[in-house]
Structure 1
Amino acid sequence: MLLTLTTTHQPATDLGHLLIKHPDRVHAFDVPVGTAHIFYPEADEQRCTAALLLDVDPLRLAAARGRGRGRQPTTTPDSFTLGRYVNDRPYAASSLLASALSKVYRSALRGESKARPELAGASIPLEVRVPVLRCRGGADVATRMFTPLGWTVTATAIPLDELHPEWGVSRYVDLTLTGTMRVADALNHLYVLLPVLDDAKHYWVAPDEVDKLLRAGAGWLADHPERALIVRRYLAHRRALAGQALERLAAQRPTDEPTADDGVDDAPAAEPAPRASLAARRREAVHAALVDAGAHRVLDLGCGGGALLATLIGDRRFTEIVGTDVSSQALTIAARRLRLDRLPERQRDRLRLRQSALTYRDDRLRGYDAAVLMEVVEHLDPPRLPALEDAVFGYARPGTVVVTTPNVEHNVRYEGLPAGAFRHADHRFEWTRAEFADWVRQVCASYGYTAALHGVGDEDPTVGAPTQLAVFTRI
């Protein structure tokens, strides 16, 4: 199996310093299932390619599997008797390749380079090629995994037989990734996602795999829109371990609402104290708006994993707080995050979690001082917005409604976000400032509210703030 990493950063041969493998040599490493080779098919100042070739010995692979017999994951695809010897492991990229990658590029995965420390921390143009990759779910799954990380993905399904296209495509893809990022980030993406796409780990998944996953996924996994699928597959569908990993990821996230602008926050400021993330600043702005409105009984509509609820419950001015979400799983995560079972009775009595859809009228949500729709409206198909407006502004009719949503004009300031792409794969739309203002005026005219508009985050003189906020006040 083969994986190549190419750069056109100049001098391109600096790739050897980042990988700590000299371009003029062929490097060989013994691994449990065979031998991993590193060599450079091209290496000059304009373009340099490092190839990782894993030569799998079927007998050693069978022996390795035999040593773990009785502890193998149930997802292994070659569990029939001869499958220990006759399988696609020597040819198709899989979890075997990820394990080899972690051994031969150990320092590069950590972002270390004694010879070029400044380059190790810099983003450079990269191209990754995996010509044969086992991909459960097809090319679309590969695209869903890598695109949110800033890669341009070309995933081509490999036919079962080129001479017989009518037979259809195989479970393998030819994968090419192009992007500008740190080499360490690229390698960690591959280390995690190759086994995920393979979805058939070759070794027993022990509890320490959770730590390995979170370490390799630091800085990107918590905000990945497919994080639940990634966690389940990486941990071989072991529910207890997956639940533990998701809970720890939820604690890392500024908010568990699936909003990709949490993943593309502005870089830290130059001041000694780190600047709060955009998600944290958004929660602060919403909290301030509720305090200014004098609200005591508050609804968090579409509360997700409960990030805003955690802020509100810490303020005794809010005597009743209700979080709603259409997803029961999100409410379960919120309950864990808030530690409802451990809260003092006085605090617990102030908080309720309820399953509810925002496009339907719900008698339980009437009579509250304020309601929050934080990064929610953009997840609805536009034809369903009138139903949300009716349910919230027309039927529940709180005294104050606070709405936040991304400012699509600001997207050009996010490196790695392709032109025309939304900040999150689940966004159905993102409004310009003028479009948001038009929607706000229409809601006010239809339901008897006035509104004030604000920006959240650093204000750009050309494209405005990254987040838009409206505070509606009932007339």
Structure 2
Amino acid sequence: MLLTITTTRYPATDLGYLLHKHPAKLHTFPLTAGEVHVFYPEATEERCTAALLLDLDPVRLTRKSAAGGNDFALEQYVNDRPYVASSFMSAALSQAYSSAMNARCKDKPELVELPLPLEVNLSVLPVNGGETLLRTLFEPLGYEVSVQSFPLDTQYQEWGQSRYYQVALKNTLPLWMLLSQLYVLIPVCDNDKHYFIGNHEIEKLMEKGRGWLDNHPAKELIVRRYMKHLGPLTRQALGLIMREEAEPEVNDEIPVPVEKIRLHDLRLQTVRDLLLEHQVTSVADLGCGEGKLLRLLMNKPVFTRILGMDVSYRALEIARDKLKLERLSERQQQRLTLIQGSLLYKDKRLSGFEAATLVEVIEHLDPPRLAILEKVVFEYARPSMVIVTTVNAEFNIKYESLTPGAFRHNDHRFEWTRPEFEAWATTIADRFGYTVTFRPLGEWDDAVGAPSQLALFIIAAA
């Protein structure tokens, strides 16, 4: 089975950086019942295509299914699994494109959130529901859908059309989101999976569906099929999705749209992934609030020393409750420390960490006090890496509930445009001996950029 991804954004060969696969090489990865090959049929600056060829071994498939036993005795011999895009293709995408799917790009991180013109071609996709289902699944996500059906038998046209389609999808979106949507929707089209479905599938669905599934008009159909119609798992997954839709941000006087909830999750995931990419083991989350980033970090054993600091004692109590610290093992409790403190005072407890994060923190300080924060973080604590995120004021015109000149949060003291943030961060980097790079966070708009912005500071080499 074959899946290709094509882009025409100049230079198109940037696709190789995003996929972590060099266009001049053949890349091969093993699967339980076959192999995955990634290669580039074309790779020019004007147009680049990455092809994923999944080669399943029918004999290995037969032996694997025979061990579990089937209700239909000949099912292991009479099936289409080696020849069509199915849940095996989702597994192949996860194996071959894991870094891209997790929104990581070491060499060109600025491309990760950039919407790209992308075209996907699936040579043979089984669809239980026909062209109508295909359009129901993909068109609400902004895809242009082209399909070609195959007859059941070319010699007997009166038998009609089969459930197999050649599918072409076009859209402009970040590559990681495209891959996540394919990962979920390919087995939904097929309405089947080749492996056991358990609670872990809920976690995968919540992760891969983040940022698009909760707002999809057919989300109930998608969840039901993804869970193979298992009622308890379907209800549990839908309950989690509905709860995320309804959860407001704390102390926000503006009605919170779904987009904002997704944006906050995106910020935290991006920060976590940057820390993972740079192989950090100790992190100080400065202005940790109720501990949302801390929870993400605690789920990764690589972070052996984690500090959460906030000026609000109440926020720390909520964080302690949500992290369930009293239920953690002694070893897990030793990984995490929560402290009350202010970024306006030199604090020796902040020293000795490899990285510090300030996620939506600086805009809560009066501008004259920023100079104190700068010295506390970049001079006194001086971690090797600092990640700062803040809102992009240019994007505020996209929020209909905001009046001109108003801030997104009632506690914000300022909100910077992209040039203002970059000017501040560049000055800080020059003054304290760091290098700095920037990236957008959230859905990109050509006129005003993304809703949020991130600066990554790294101590400059001597």
The interval holding the TM-score normalised by the smaller chain is 0.5 to 0.7
User: What amino acid maps onto 1:12 in structure 2?
Assistant: A
Residue aligned with 1:115, SS: coil
Residue aligned with 1:25, SS: coil
Greater Rg, structure 1 or structure 2?
1
- Aligned mate of 1:178, from 170, 174, 182: 170
**Any idea what the Cα deviations from partners look like across 1:367-405, whole Å, max 9, x if unmatched?**
xxxxxxxxxxxxxxxxxxxxxxxxxxxxxxxxxxxxxxx
Residue aligned with 1:82, SS: coil
Paired residues in the alignment total 267
CA distance in 1, matches of 2:89, 2:45: 28
Aligned partners of 2:245 and 2:258 also within 8 Å:
no
Aligned partners of 2:210 and 2:262 also within 8 Å:
no
CA distance in 2, matches of 1:173, 1:45: 31
**Any idea what the Cα deviations from partners look like across 1:40-93, whole Å, max 9, x if unmatched?**
1111111010011111101111222234447xxxxxxxx522220232111111
Cross-structure match for 2:412: none
Cross-structure match for 2:25: 25
- Aligned mate of 2:99, from 78, 90, 107: 107
Residue 94 (structure 1) aligned with residue 93 (structure 2): no
For structure 2, list consecutive stretches of 5 or more residues without a partner in the other structure.
248-255, 268-396, 405-462
Residue 252 (structure 1) aligned with residue 244 (structure 2): yes
**Any idea what the Cα deviations from partners look like across 1:344-370, whole Å, max 9, x if unmatched?**
xxxxxxxxxxxxxxxxxxxxxxxxxxx
Task: Using the TM superposition, give the Cα deviation of residue 134 of structure 1 relative to its aligned residue in structure 2, in angstroms.
Answer: 0.5
Aligned partners of 1:68 and 1:204 also within 8 Å:
no
CA distance in 1, matches of 2:141, 2:162: 26
CA distance in 2, matches of 1:457, 1:131: 45
CA distance in 1, matches of 2:197, 2:189: 16
Note the 1:398-417 alignment, pairs <5 A.
none
Cross-structure match for 2:284: none
Note the 1:433-444 alignment, pairs <5 A.
none
Residue aligned with 2:220, SS: helix
**Any idea what the Cα deviations from partners look like across 1:179-204, whole Å, max 9, x if unmatched?**
10000000000000001111111111
Task: Using the TM superposition, give the Cα deviation of residue 167 of structure 1 relative to its aligned residue in structure 2, in angstroms.
Answer: 2.3
Output the aligned Cα RMSD: 2.8
Residue 214 (structure 1) aligned with residue 206 (structure 2): yes
Identify if the C-alpha distance between structure 1 residues 104 and 214 changes in structure 2 by more than 3 Å, giving closer, same or farther.
same
Aligned partners of 2:211 and 2:262 also within 8 Å:
no
Residue aligned with 2:214, SS: coil
Residue aligned with 2:107, SS: coil
Residue aligned with 1:112, SS: coil
CA distance in 2, matches of 1:32, 1:96: 10
Aligned partners of 2:143 and 2:170 also within 8 Å:
yes
Aligned partners of 1:59 and 1:85 also within 8 Å:
no
Cross-structure match for 1:46: 46
Task: Using the TM superposition, give the Cα deviation of residue 162 of structure 1 relative to its aligned residue in structure 2, in angstroms.
Answer: 3.9
Cross-structure match for 2:66: 66
Aligned partners of 1:143 and 1:155 also within 8 Å:
no
CA distance in 2, matches of 1:267, 1:459: 22
User: What amino acid maps onto 1:172 in structure 2?
Assistant: Y
User: What amino acid maps onto 1:62 in structure 2?
Assistant: T
Aligned partners of 1:68 and 1:203 also within 8 Å:
no
Aligned partners of 2:54 and 2:89 also within 8 Å:
yes
Cross-structure match for 1:195: 187
CA distance in 2, matches of 1:163, 1:60: 32
CA distance in 2, matches of 1:20, 1:31: 19
Note the 1:395-474 alignment, pairs <5 A.
457-458=401-402
Cross-structure match for 1:166: 158
Note the 1:346-425 alignment, pairs <5 A.
none
Identify if the C-alpha distance between structure 1 residues 253 and 153 changes in structure 2 by more than 3 Å, giving closer, same or farther.
same
CA distance in 2, matches of 1:172, 1:131: 10
Residue aligned with 2:211, SS: coil
CA distance in 1, matches of 2:258, 2:62: 41
Residue aligned with 1:202, SS: coil
- Aligned mate of 2:228, from 212, 232, 236: 236
**Any idea what the Cα deviations from partners look like across 1:194-249, whole Å, max 9, x if unmatched?**
01111111111011111011110011111111111111111111111001000000
Residue aligned with 2:215, SS: coil
Task: Using the TM superposition, give the Cα deviation of residue 459 of structure 1 relative to its aligned residue in structure 2, in angstroms.
Answer: 6.5
Aligned partners of 1:35 and 1:55 also within 8 Å:
yes
**Any idea what the Cα deviations from partners look like across 1:389-439, whole Å, max 9, x if unmatched?**
xxxxxxxxxxxxxxxxxxxxxxxx99xxxxxxxxxxxxxxxxxxxxxxxxx
Identify if the C-alpha distance between structure 1 residues 227 and 267 changes in structure 2 by more than 3 Å, giving closer, same or farther.
closer
CA distance in 2, matches of 1:87, 1:263: 41
Percent identity reads 45
Residue aligned with 1:180, SS: strand
- Report the TM-score, using the length of structure 2 for normalisation: 0.54
